[in-house]
């Protein structure tokens, strides 16, 4: 009975305000684009589901995952190589905003991984991605100097 009710909840267009794990899992099983997109953008989505959605066939879903600040670092790392330019642009915006706000004593591994993502985005083949990173970090003094200098030279050219 409860399973049937949960299944009905995931057939509707909107997910409930309070997201239960089972409801989120049902969204993935039902494979409805609108609901996967909503799940990818929610701050209460389970991290493992955001990771799963980072590999979704829909660029719209992957863009939502890329812009979600709650997306686990492993999913962000996957998205740095996404084939969709807009996904990488959204990821560049998010990471560029998060890095300067990381405290100096943030876990070393986390900081290194986020900086590696930022570095990869600063080297992206699409100038727009590099420009987004440059604009987002321009007033920050908590960004690796090598990235800031590389972007400054890139924009001058």
Q: How far apart are CA 20 and CA 60, in angstroms?
A: 23
Q: Once rounded to an integer, what is the mean pLDDT over residues 91-118?
A: 83
Q: How far apart are CA 84 and CA 104, in angstroms?
A: 32
Please write the tens of the pLDDT for every residue from 22-69: 988 998 999 899 999 999 999 999 999 999 999 999 999 999 999 999
Q: In terms of Cα–Cα distance, which of 61, 76, 64 is closest to 113? A: 76
102 to 29, 70, 74, 109: CA distances (angstroms): 35, 14, 17, 12
Q: How far apart are CA 38 and CA 60, in angstroms?
A: 10
Confidence band for 99, pLDDT divided at 50, 70 and 90: confident
Q: What pLDDT is attached to residue 155?
A: 63
Q: What pLDDT is attached to residue 124?
A: 94
Q: What pLDDT is attached to residue 1?
A: 45
Q: What pLDDT is attached to residue 11?
A: 44
Q: How far apart are CA 151 and CA 119, in angstroms?
A: 10
Please write the tens of the pLDDT for every residue from 117-156: 999 999 999 999 999 999 988 878 778 888 888 888 886 5
Count of other CB atoms within 10 angstroms of residue 8:
10
Q: Once rounded to an integer, what is the mean pLDDT over residues 92-107?
A: 80
Q: Is the pLDDT of residue 108 over 60?
A: yes
Q: In terms of Cα–Cα distance, which of 127, 20, 125 is closest to 82? A: 125
- The residue that leads in pLDDT, 77 or 11, is 77
């Amino acid at each position: 009975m409860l399973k049937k009710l949960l299944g009905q909840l995931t057939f509707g267009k909107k997910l409930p305000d309070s997201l239960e794990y089972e409801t989120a899992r049902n969204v993935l099983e039902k494979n409805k684009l609108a609901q996967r997109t909503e799940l990818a953008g929610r701050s209460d989505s389970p991290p493992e589901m955001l990771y799963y959605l980072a590999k979704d066939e829909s660029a719209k879903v992957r863009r939502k995952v890329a812009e979600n600040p709650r997306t686990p670092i492993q999913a962000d790392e996957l998205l740095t190589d996404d084939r969709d330019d807009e996904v990488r642009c959204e990821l560049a915006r998010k990471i560029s905003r998060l890095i300067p706000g990381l405290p100096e004593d943030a876990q070393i591994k986390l900081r290194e991984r986020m900086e590696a993502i930022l570095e990869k985005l600063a080297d992206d083949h699409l100038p727009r991605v590099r420009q987004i990173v440059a604009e987002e970090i321009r007033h920050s003094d908590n960004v690796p100097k090598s990235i800031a200098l590389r972007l400054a030279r890139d924009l001058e050219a």
